[in-house]
Structures are given as C-alpha cells and as structure tokens.
Structure 1
Amino acid sequence: MLEHRVLLESPLARVAAVRCPGGHAWSPEEQVDGAALVLIRRGVFLRRADGRAALADVTTGYRQRRGEAQQISHPGGGDVCTSIHISDELADRFGPFVRVSPIADLAHRRLLAAAPADRADLVADLIAALLPASSAAAHPAIDDVRALLHLDPSRDLGALAAAVGWSPWYLSRTFHRVTGCTLNSYRRRLRVRTALDELPHSSDLAGVAVRVGFADQAHMTRAVRAETGRTPAALRRDLDQGI
C-alpha cells in the first residue's frame, strides 16, 4: 500500500511524495495509469516491471510508462520517493532506469526545499539534469552489491566480490560499466547523500560527519565538495527549508 501526498502541480509535471511500508513479499501486480519518473529520497527497494526486476535507490530511479505492469518489494521498509508525473511524450525520452547524478540530486533537493512559487522552474531544472543520464543499465549481481553497500558502505571489495561469486577485478570492472562510477565513488556518494539528508536539520557538522561514516568533518567537507562543488555549510543554508 502506498501513501501519496501531492506536493505541487505545474504545467510540466505533478510531483508527489510516496511513502512505502516494509515487506519482503512482492506487492500485487498493478497497471501504471500514467507516465512518471520516480526518484528515491530514502531507502532501497526492488521494482519488477513486466517480469524484469531491478534495484532502486538514491543513485538510480526509474521511469514508469502508461500501461506497464509493476510490482514492488520493500525489504527494509520506510522508503520515501518523489514521483514526477510527466507526459507520455517526455517519458519516451527516458530509458527505463534513471541515473541520478550529484547535479540531479541537488536539483531534486532544491525542488523539495523550495517555496511553492519557485517550484515550477525547479521541476524543469531537475528533468533537464536527469535526461543526459537516463540510460542506466540493470544487472542483478550489481544490484546485489549495491544493496550490500546500502547495508554497510564500509564493506570491502573482497567481501563484495565473494558475495556475488566474482573476482575483485571483475567486480570492479563490471560495477563501473553498469553504474558509471567506481565502487569507491559509489560508497562516497551514499555517504554524501546521507549527510545531505541531515544537513538541513543539524548545525553540528562534525556530528553529522561521524554519524554518516566519515572520519571527521574535514573528510566530509572534501567528499561533499567533490560530489556537489559546494561545502556542507553552504548546502545547509541552501536547503534549510526542509526536505
């Protein structure tokens, strides 16, 4: 069961928050009644569309197409997503999986933090940021590795490779080909996005750094700047209206 809360209406798209409870079982099959882009704000889950399953997380969302049959499994529960309802014509410009770059992630956060009067332009900015990276691929073994990293971002290459029965070299090579980034970059991206979730609600940057897995505040600042081009303090001011 999904709980929807409409956030805005605009000529370009309708944006809604979607909160999903936990549960390992697949949901009943449902027909998609309109095209949408779904971006994950918090959590990680599996989506099966027309018989093909793939992992959705903060780095990879997905496109829904009208008439598509889908099911969802939420092993961890508590997932929160943004559903951007778009035209069928715009949906045709996207692949089935949507890679969320750091630039697109910031555009998403700015949209959610913005005053209502400013949101229509920000929807356009977000969609423009997502379009160049809309051809992300799905791979079951890499999905397994991504899920393991969500559970424990510090898990080393050897343990990840053993979990999927591959050599460390082959895992590193395949992970980069499928996701567009290295394993180390992906670890950093998960930690940075967790930090960005906390920044608008905490003035204790050193505490945020420790809680999300960085060695100290300086380490977090370097990582956030590398991902976003801005410091944690600047982003906290930018996003302090709440996400």
Structure 2
Amino acid sequence: MTLSLIARTVVLDIEGTTGAAGYVHGTLYDYARPRLGPWIDTHADDPDVVGAVARTRDEGGLREDAGTAEVVDVLHRWMDDDVKATPLKTLQGQIWAAGYAAGELSSHFFDDVVPRLRAWHERGVRLAVFSSGSVASQVPWFRHAPAGDLTPLVTDYFDTVTAGPKREAGSYDAIAAALGDEPGRLLFLSDLPAELFAAREAGWQVVGVRRAGEPNAGADFGDVPVVADFTELDVVAAP
C-alpha cells in the first residue's frame, strides 16, 4: 500500500535511508582511516582542520599540544564506536570530497531512491538533506552518484554544525527557519526513530524508513508511519 502525503519540502537522511549504512562504515570509513594523519599534517594551515584537531584534543581528553598520532588514535576510536563527533565528520568530509574529485570514490543509493527523488522534484517538491555527515561530504555524495550528478535535485544541505543535533527538536526548528517553510509543510525521512520523534515534536511530518538488512530495521518507530522503501511513498507538492 502506498502512503500519500502533501509536503512543500522533503528533507532526507542519508545513511540507512537513501544509501546503505554498510557503504559508509565500510568503503568510506576504510578510505578515510589511513588518510586522517597525512591529511592533518598536509593541511595544517587550513582553519577547518586546525579547528577540528583542537576540538578532537579537547573532546578526546588530550593535551593541547598532543601530536597527530594521538589525535588520530582518538578519531579512529570514534570511528570504531560510531561516535557522531563533529571534528571527525569535518575531517572525513574533506577527505571524502578529495576522493570523489579524484575519481577514487562514488556514493551509494538504493535502487528505489533516485527515481522517486526525480519524480518528486519534477512535481515541484523541494528536496533537502539533514545528515550527521558534514555538508562537505553530503554535496559530493549527491554529485558523484552512480546515476550521475544529483545535486540539481537538492536545494539545501544541513549537518549538526549548521542545524544542531539530529535528536533535538530545536534543530528542526532551525532548518524550518532556514528553508522559510512552515513545519507542517516539511517531511523528514529517516531510519532512526529518535530523529523522527524530534522532528515531529517540532511540528514536522515524518516517515520512518525500515529497510531490510539495515542496522535499524528492527527499531521501534512507535506510531510513526513506516515504509520499507521509497516506492511505498508518494509525495505531492503543497501549494
């Protein structure tokens, strides 16, 4: 059965919703892991790198003068524990963007996603992204998709730096304000119930995505409507 909704903007989670979590934690993490140290050392003049290193030292309980090896140990530990740490996301995003540009990486989308995104876009539904991954990693993810450059479909990108934590209602208030939309006209799609509950608290429409084989397939979505994939969801543009 198809779930039909009316929305001005669909805001998309990435990992486990539009693309496989295993691809992120496998291919992308494996690419970034050995490059973190060299990237930090060769971009020592980049303010974003300097800031990420300083935050890693602080949040990781290191000395202010801790060397690259100690910083990388913390970053690797965060990767192993799937910690959504902003400095890690910043550095990973830069490394992945360079990998995409070099043709060494491409992104992953479930087969049902791209046709639906194109259909919604053609109907006048605006598409945006809210992911714990940095905006620097979100844009190339859509630009270097196997189906081609998808960035013309997406108008806005948000991460935990620009919007706030994904499990707090205030973050969705911030996104609504940035988009200039009333919360009731916004639809958030995610595989994580806690994120959906936060968005709903902010007045958004929400739909859970329970994909077979993904880490959150067995999660409790409560009374949130759930689809198995995007073919079960039809979105019409709100006036």
**With structure 1 as the length reference, what TM-score do the two structures score?**
0.25
Bigger RCO of structures 1 and 2 (CA < 8 A, at least 6 apart): 2
Higher strand proportion: 1
